[in-house]
Amino acid sequence: MMPIGHGALPNYVLVERKAVKHLRLVINRDASVRLVLPKRASMRSALAFYGERQAWVDSKRRLVLAQQQAADAYDDLDSALFYGESYQVAYNAPRDAIDHSLQMITVRAPRSAAARLRVWRNLAALDLRQRLESEAERLAVTVNKVSIRDQKTRWGSCSSKGNISLNWRVALMPLDVGNYIIAHEFAHLRHMNHSPRFWAEVERLCPNYRAAERWIKQQGSALMMVQRR
Ligand SMILES: [Zn+2]
């Protein structure tokens, strides 16, 4: 699996020979790199291929590592992100609950990562269901079924049957941004595409959606990494 001479490639590059037509580079989630070679490709062409893409690899790896770091910042057992703010987490409490004015989450169980995640996710799901319901009422939208999930790549989705699912991490976004995600799915109830008419509907439901989109572009990928791995 490593026919290329060591020293020629950085140690984070894994070389793999496969029955493929073209050379291919893949940046893994842990910032390691896979260089996939056709069975008969020469070492020289592989090295040249990699060399030409070194700058691209560097910038991609920097991005992945920065995202990981941002996600690791949420691993602290005594805090949890909610509504874009850091909430304090207290254990051995009378009940599982969230207090937005104190920015505090209480957990019945003793202090552990599993207990924190379970309560955090449950509170997020509860919060999103309530918000989706009240937003539907406010905007006069009819939703069929709602599910809150642990999607790896999406914030929400909407089916032609009018079922909406949201990523539990939407509750971790600032309120305005989370409400935009909800409005975005509401707009899909009318237009199952991203046409200009769809965006006009988004704007009607959520007039400042552009700021939310900007926030997601800047912070979304780090947030998507929260409590994965
Ligand atoms: Zn969409």
What pLDDT was estimated at residue 67?
Answer: 80
Spacing, Cα 214 to ligand 1 middle (Å) = 15
What pLDDT was estimated at residue 9?
Answer: 87
Spacing, Cα 204 to ligand 1 middle (Å) = 15
Q: Would you say residue 21 lies in a domain?
A: yes
- Domains contained in the chain, number: 2
Spacing, Cα 118 to ligand 1 middle (Å) = 28
Q: Would you say residue 118 lies in a domain?
A: yes
Spacing, Cα 184 to ligand 1 middle (Å) = 6
pTM of the model as a whole: 0.76
- β strands within the chain, DSSP E: 13-18, 24-27, 33-38, 79-82, 85-90, 97-99, 104-106, 146-149, 156-158, 164-167
Place 145 in a pLDDT band, splitting at 50, 70 and 90: very high
Residues 110 and 94 in one domain: yes
Q: Do the Cβ atoms of 82 and 171 come closer than 8 Å?
A: yes
Output the domain CATH number for residue 139.
3.30.2010.10
Q: Domain range holding 213?
A: 76-224
Q: Would you say residue 102 lies in a domain?
A: yes
Which residue, of 44, 72, 100, is where some domain finishes?
72
Spacing, Cα 188 to ligand 1 middle (Å) = 7
pLDDT tens-digit series, residues 25-37: 999 888 899 999 9
pLDDT tens-digit series, residues 81-113: 999 999 999 999 999 999 999 999 999 999 999
Residues 56 and 40 in one domain: yes
